[in-house]
Amino acid sequence: MSSKKILDLDTIVLNDEQNEVVIIDQTLLPNELKYLHLKTLNDFWDAIYHLKVRGAPAIGIAAAYGVYLGVKNSLANTYEKFYEEFTKAKEYLASSRPTAVNLFWALDRMEKVVVNNKNKELEGIKKLLKEEADKIKEEDIWVNKSIGEYGLSLLKPGWGILTHCNAGQLATAKYGTALAPIYLGHEKGYNFKVFADETRPLLQGARLTTYELLMAGIDVTLICDNMASIVMKNGWIQAVLVGCDRVAANGDTANKIGTSGVAILAHNYGIPFYVCAPTSTIDMNCKTGNEIPIEERKPEEVTEKWFNKRMAPEGVRVYNPAFDVTDAKFITAIITEYGIAHPPFEESLKKIFEIKQQKQKNKI
């Protein structure tokens, strides 16, 4: 394990002089801390699809830098040709993961820069694209810290907290979403006891969340996904914190497969279930979770990955959805950077966006 503290690690860094973005290859953790140098659009697509970079915010940041580098050295001599190249790059990166709304949100932000500055010189547009990608990364740091502060207001020192998948530093520019309250609480001496689901089949909890929390000096216990019920029944869990990839307007939430089951268990045992969601992951144009596309991944992730030998017979059918949707009725609150939304979410999420709009207006 690295001698660095987890919050000191840079997960996504643009090296503009070398025309590359440097990321941590999360597929090799926890055994090897290796940095990858992404230069081409194919590099970015591959890194996002194969989860070398993962987590909704981190995917958005990587895509923003990727589309910038994709057109930075464009030889187009007209705006129309440049925009055509940009659109191809954007659509290609957008095809890498269908569920995480941050991917499309970030790419749409980058497109607005191109469209809104069509009368500028092409070199000026390229400069603005780089500045916008930098903003997306910088904003993510503030967003996560704010989520951490709001989330911490719901927790008490000494609590046991269950988390699923990885929504920490590795999934964002800094702090994470679901782990942000834990990191801020640790700084204040809250002495949380964290239980991390392994999160089959890709083991993001086992490989990444425990890696982060151990590096930060936080009390963490790894459990298999099917052990969540017994640790709740034992009275060891006082709150559940999870991240998300997309929130529908009614509060239904798509997150890593298995999250829905954790929410149902928490509801059964009377444990608050909190979703930590940047407003960039909230899709008010998506009415319910039924409209959220669910990515299905290759069967090899279930039958072979992480095993020395194949662990299922050849020819068996495999269903491998990457996400599931947690019904809003099982969610206690949705924690955003602009406040905490409580049921009914149709109303409270609208208020969150009203607060966001007002605060952004006051900054101008």
Catalytic residue ranges: 245
Using a 10 angstrom Cβ sphere, with 0-12 exposed, 13-18 middle and 19 or more buried, the burial of residue 290 is exposed
- What are the beta bridge partners of residue 256? 323
Amino acid identity of residue 304, one-letter, is E
The residue whose two tokens read 């709009």 is 357
How many CB atoms are located within 10 Å of the residue 64 CB? Answer: 30
Contacts of 20 (CB under 8 A, 6+ apart): 14, 37, 38, 39, 69
The residue whose two tokens read 């905490």 is 340
Both structure tokens of 62: 């990587």
Contacts of 3 (CB under 8 A, 6+ apart): none
Q: Strand runs (DSSP E) across 165-299, as ranges?
A: 193-197, 219-223, 239-242, 246-248, 253-256, 273-276, 282-283
Residue pair 114/129 in contact (Cβ under 8 Å)? The answer is: yes
How many CB atoms are located within 10 Å of the residue 104 CB? Answer: 19
357: Cα within 13 Å, side-chain hemisphere: 6
The residue whose two tokens read 């000191």 is 8
Residue pair 354/344 in contact (Cβ under 8 Å)? The answer is: no
Q: 328-349 as b/e, with b when 16 or more CB fall inside 10 Å? A: bebbbbbbbbbbbbeeebeebb
353: Cα within 13 Å, side-chain hemisphere: 13
The most distant pair of C-alpha atoms in the chain lies apart, rounded to whole Å, by: 67
